[in-house]
Amino acid sequence: MNPITRQEFLQRTAMAGAAVLLSSLESLALTTPDKKLRVALIGCGSVSNRYIPHLQTSPLIEIVSLCDIKYDRALGQNKQYNVNAATYPHIDKMLAGVPFDLMVTTTDMQEHEHLNRQALMAGKHVWSEKPMANTYDAGRALYGLAKSKKLRIWGAPAVVNSPQFAFMSKTIQEGKLGKLSCAHAHYGHLGPTWSAFFYEKGGGSLPDLGVYNLATLTGLLGPAKSVIAMTSIVTPERTVDDKGKIKVEAEDNAHVVMYHGNGVLSHVQCGFNYFDPYGHEGKGQNSHTITVWGRDGNMGLVGYDWAPFGVDLATSYTEPPVRYVEDPGTYVWQQGATVISESLVNHVEPRINAEHALHVLEVIEAARASSATGKKIMLKSKFPWPLF
């Protein structure tokens, strides 16, 4: 194959679409002299302190632009991490500025949808922090827009990339737990203290915290067919760094039950009012936060699903429980944007799947609808499953 320029490669990538991207152009990266993906990151707040350094670890990625409506933050992160990027105070300016291939969206949750749409309209691939959009229908429309423009969009979280998730998924698929009955997951802390958006309409503990557990359990057990839930607000007023005293509008406490078919039920609880000695960072958590039960065995994920330390497996044929996959390998929760960027360059379909993120978004919306109406909510979305 003749070498081509990176621009030609990216143009072809966009024209080829996902399926073709993975087949006919597979060896292209090896022959492309300058094959770095140009990334623009929008939203230079707390999580950018995890994203920027991780993106910088990849030889296939160059961060070319940083943007924040609080412009000093874009300038500050550029300096702090020696990015040497162009900086912008608004997406319009960034889209009109230095050319790039992928936008990484790490702004307030409520802003993702319109920013992601604008990037897709401008011909950019997108990695979005959760949620990809404010509603399932809007997210589905973004996915359709991306497809129609031969672009890709993906959404956090990246929990399916951990070796512990892989082990649990394979254990279930190999039937080692026997006939499955149920699973439980939980994640909570006392809530972020820096920004109001976590507590405003469109925020909440479900899209911020429960989203990890929902992605893990649907990833392990398959798409949910229906949902029943209760949500509440435990702390109606909070004080946050950016707005002082605020009224909490989105749920800060949630219990969600999903039906996955074949009799299998799962339960997720999450909230911003959990005393957790491990705090927001979760460092050192080593009890089970995810448990799956079958008639022949059960297993528990040690640590949070976004920062796991191992899996305890007990079966009717190997008692007592044995701990597996204590080594996280290269997995860290902030790797999503890096992984999908490298997959674009290398033409390998990543395990993270946009339809999975959309399904989780539909579950979150259904949970809120169920809590508001007292009814079970049927779901329409699916995603390619099993993942292994």
Binding residues (CB under 6 A) for ligand NAD: these are 42-47, 67-70, 73, 91, 106-109, 111, 115, 129-130, 194-195, 208
Q: Considering beta carbons, is residue 107 or 171 the nearer one to ligand NAD?
A: 107
- Choose among 147, 59, 55: nearest CA to 106: 55
Angle made by CA atoms 102, 107, 108, in degrees to the nearest 5: 150
CB of 234 to ligand NAD, least distance (A): 19
CB of 249 to ligand NAD, least distance (A): 16
Q: Considering beta carbons, is residue 20 or 47 the nearer one to ligand NAD?
A: 47
- Run of H or E including 100: none
Find how far residue 204's CA is from the centre of its chain: 15
Q: Considering beta carbons, is residue 109 or 360 the nearer one to ligand NAD?
A: 109
CB of 198 to ligand NAD, least distance (A): 7
3-state secondary structure 242-306: CCEEEECCCCCEEEEEEECCCCCEEEEEEECCCCCCCCCCCCCCCCEEEEEEECCEEEEEEEECC
Q: Considering beta carbons, is residue 195 or 291 the nearer one to ligand NAD?
A: 195
Sheet with 265-271: strands ordered across: 318-324, 307-315, 297-304, 288-294, 180-188, 265-271, 253-259, 226-232, 377-378
Phi, psi of 8 (to 5 degrees): -60, -40
Residue the block writes with tokens 């291939």:
101
DSSP secondary structure letter of residue 185:
E
CB of 105 to ligand NAD, least distance (A): 8
Q: Considering beta carbons, is residue 194 or 236 the nearer one to ligand NAD?
A: 194
Coil, strand or helix at 62 = strand
Give the C-alpha separation, 18 to 148, whole Å: 11
Select the residue whose beta carbon is closest to ligand NAD and give its number: 45
Q: Considering beta carbons, is residue 111 or 365 the nearer one to ligand NAD?
A: 111
CB of 19 to ligand NAD, least distance (A): 29
Q: Considering beta carbons, is residue 46 or 262 the nearer one to ligand NAD?
A: 46
CB of 12 to ligand NAD, least distance (A): 30
Tokens coding 115: 């920013």
CB of 360 to ligand NAD, least distance (A): 13
